[in-house]
Chain A
């Protein structure tokens, strides 16, 4: 029998990441510090408020954004239940992580999506990368996050962003590509350059689709923030993780219900915001 040597794929990737860590860890660690500061500020701002005030503000905001009684009541009673279950600190910590991760994901995803829609080569490079990113099990991202950012919340944010950015890119690009051909021709026929076409026609028309992408990004961010509890993200995911390790079924489900409540509120509110732009 001929012996086929095993291809050292894993070793190669490991070597690459180690090399990256050796040469760039100073940058990522610095970045980590900045993020940590921002995150702490946001988190303490959220926790500084008394829970009842936060709940009222959140409900008012929901009403203002959606004009739906059901969703507003969901926000009001859902958050009240979370407070009652003594999961308030964990919940605000999770919300802060989701907000930061989503913002970073959108800041990266929307511009990349626009570039992918505008330039074929970008599209051709980005698409396979996104395919890999979306099929790779989420847990795998946790591993390289640690050497770059150290255990903790910033590593959690990094892996969350990697996990949550694909829909923002894909749907931004899709929204722009879906603008009817005749409208694009019209913009051209009336002398628009590429930039004017983007700003005056494509982005406004793509907004509902981009909002759908943002919605998905938020949802993915939430689910990843929970998983990232394994590398020290704490929050509601941390409660679940603790409950698993100690086999505390009640606590586990309570934290789980907290996550469901946050997810439902975010989803309903974002969907309304997206569809309202679409409606008129």
Chain B
């Protein structure tokens, strides 16, 4: 069961949403509904799921309904139709009390403009949810201090929000959500109001925190680079409807329609492409125990390459041999390649961005091996293949 399940969700703004809803269900567009019925379509038939421990980024331009969508999940905005299930419980059917309890137990929220209470100190802001929950003062201060420490704000607890920089204020906002110990974080354009450098730091930090905490995060963003960096999956919205759901890779390489394609065309392709999407299957591999210099040379000749990655039976990468070393060893009559094996290899992981690969490949006399956590070879990247991939996907 998914952590969050959104099914056929609609939000119509206006005095008589039912009539507009019918029109929308019959296929009227957002513009038509606005023109003829004077109703706004916030969310149009949205369905998606967020799995436990996943970061899903809902992305779209302003007015695409992404903020409305996230507010329908904790019902800051009342959905017009459809359902939202959290841990199997239908949120849309909760009464006021149940809703407040749900918000306090499961849903932490982080806001675009931080939404800190200016008259409360940092620690009192961080403790707000706990205070509403009815936690006693000593415990809630303790917990708030812990979550402030998590976001690196120890020592600032007695300051007022106005004395903090934007980045620090948003850390308080994050600490306030974390202090609740909720398993779901709703982050509404949480980093959009920050300077680019601070934003990038905060993104890195969120990724680090997420590795420790394994929250389920629904992140709203209008910034594709941010979505790609943070999102395990991306939900792309336009005019209140979901246009595409998939990994960054899916969306960039197989855009569902022209809209998505235009949306993604300005992305810096080198940040998006990762090692596994540009690597090729190794044309040939040497086996450390069975292949001698001659066999290795022959494999290289057939494949048309000048160096050969050497693995053991478990597919673990052991090193590389060069053609010239092989032929020398062969002429000396050696039957083993262990003596000419070069083991100080540079390798990359499957998720290394192409940006970093370009720097590594520069000055490297042999292709790059892509390995997994167990050092098993997954593929190889050479300069030509990388440039080819970038060129191919960079062009529309």
B-binding residues in A (CB < 8 A): 180, 182-183, 185-186, 188-193, 196, 200-201, 204-205, 280
Given A185-B111, A188-B76, A189-B74: A280 in contact with B160 (beta carbons within 8 A): yes
**Would you give the shortest CB distance from A26 to chain B, in whole angstroms?**
44
A-binding residues in B (CB < 8 A): 71, 74, 76, 96, 100-101, 103-104, 107, 109, 111-113, 115, 117-119, 128-129, 131-133, 160, 176, 180, 186
Given A185-B76, A185-B115, A205-B119: A191 in contact with B132 (beta carbons within 8 A): yes
**Would you give the shortest CB distance from B384 to chain A, in whole angstroms?**
51
Q: Which chain A positions have C-beta within 8 A of B128?
A: 190, 200
Q: Which chain B positions have C-beta within 8 A of A204?
A: 117, 119
Q: A189-B109, A190-B103, A191-B100 are in contact. List 15 more A-B contacts (CB 8 A).
A: A180-B115, A182-B112, A183-B115, A188-B76, A188-B103, A189-B103, A190-B104, A190-B109, A190-B128, A191-B133, A192-B132, A193-B96, A196-B132, A204-B119, A205-B118
Q: Is the CB of B104 within 8 A of A186?
A: no
A183 to B112, CA, bound (A): 11
A190 to B127, CA, bound (A): 10
Q: Is the CB of A190 within 8 A of B113?
A: no
Which of B101, B109, B160 touches A186 (beta carbons < 8 Å)? B109
A196 to B186, CA, bound (A): 22
Most buried by A among B109, B128, B160: B128
**Would you give the shortest CB distance from B354 to chain A, in whole angstroms?**
38
The residue on A at minimum CB distance from B103 is A191
Q: Which chain A positions have C-beta within 8 A of B103?
A: 188-191
A204 to B125, CA, bound (A): 14
**Would you give the shortest CB distance from A277 to chain B, in whole angstroms?**
9
Most buried by B among A188, A196, A205, A280: A188
Q: Which chain A positions have C-beta within 8 A of B118?
A: 205
**Would you give the shortest CB distance from A234 to chain B, in whole angstroms?**
43
Q: Is the CB of A190 within 8 A of B176?
A: yes
The residue on A at minimum CB distance from B186 is A189
The residue on B at minimum CB distance from A201 is B117
Q: Is the CB of A191 within 8 A of B101?
A: yes
**Would you give the shortest CB distance from A262 to chain B, in whole angstroms?**
32
